[in-house]
Amino acid sequence: MNSFGRFKSFLTHLDELRRRLIKVLLGFVVATLVCYNFVGQILPWLIKPAGHLIFTSPTEAFGAYMTLAAVMGFLISLPWTLYQVWGFVASALRPGEKKFIAIFGPLSFLFFILGVLFSYFIAIPLTYRFLMSFSSDSMQPMITVSHYMGFLANMLIAFGVTFELPLILAFLAKIGVATPEFLRQKRRHAIMIILIVAAIVTPPDVISQILLALPLMALYEVGIILVKMTYKHKTL
């Protein structure tokens, strides 16, 4: 392919990316607007672990409502978002590789939800109790609703995204990018990257960082197993 052909192909993929991003954004906006109608019923249930929250500005409560609606909209529209993401990826794959999308598409949604559930039922309660343990007679917590919702949103999305690691590694193996030997050789580097990512995407406390880093390390090992299975299947 000459330079003009490569440039034309690049423009085609760029236009494909633009169209799919617009579809993702529209799906997210529609889902968020729909979910906003249910925030009032869900918010008391979510803030129950905190017991009592306050807001310190006229717009803060509305901002918390919108944050929760956006998180709910993101989760509701996630299947549509993943459909668009994998559809874009498929456009760059060879015909024999596109069949993998039918497997990795649904599994990516499942793994994201597993990360969200792990975060909500395990990581968030433990992290919140740890952070609140520093209160005393001279330091009483007065958590604002915006900070609490931001804490929830960051934890849920961070765990959901990072739980995709095994699938990403398995998909790279399917298309011939990763091998079990390569991943085993780079284990130390992966652990260092995992610790850095955990420190960046979680609140600045040791508990939440450990609660994200340890599952990620385990998921990396699961990813190696999946890559080994995938790699063997590919060479048959």
Q: What is the mean pLDDT of the chain?
A: 84
State mean pLDDT over 74-81: 93
Q: What is the pLDDT of residue 236?
A: 41
Quote the longest CA-to-CA distance of the chain.
73
State mean pLDDT over 95-110: 78
Residue 57: pLDDT over 60: yes
Q: Could you read off the pLDDT of 160-181 as tens digits, one per residue?
A: 988 988 888 887 777 777 788 8
State mean pLDDT over 43-59: 84
- Domain carrying residue 82: 3-235
What is the distance of C-alpha 196 from the center of its chain?
A: 16
Q: Say if CB 196 and CB 162 are below 8 A apart.
A: no
Strand partners, 144: 54
pLDDT: which is higher, 231 or 130: 130
Start-to-end CA span in the chain (Å): 31
Cα 198 from Cα 194, distance rounded (Å): 6
Residue 10's pLDDT band, with cuts at 50, 70 and 90, is low
Cα 184 from Cα 225, distance rounded (Å): 10
Cα 229 from Cα 196, distance rounded (Å): 28
The number of beta carbons lying within 10 Å of the beta carbon of residue 22 is: 11
Q: What is the pLDDT of residue 25?
A: 96
Q: Say if CB 53 and CB 145 are below 8 A apart.
A: yes
Residue 6's pLDDT band, with cuts at 50, 70 and 90, is low
Q: What is the pLDDT of residue 34?
A: 96
Residue 121: pLDDT over 60: yes
In this prediction the pTM is 0.79
Domain count, the chain: 1
Residue 145: pLDDT over 70: yes
Q: With pLDDT > 70 as the criterion, what percentage of the chain qualifies?
A: 91
Q: Could you read off the pLDDT of 173-203 as tens digits, one per residue?
A: 777 777 888 888 888 998 998 888 888 877 7
Q: What is the pLDDT of residue 7?
A: 53
Q: What is the pLDDT of residue 231?
A: 66
Residue 204: phi, psi to the nearest 5?
-75, 60
Residue 235's pLDDT band, with cuts at 50, 70 and 90, is very low
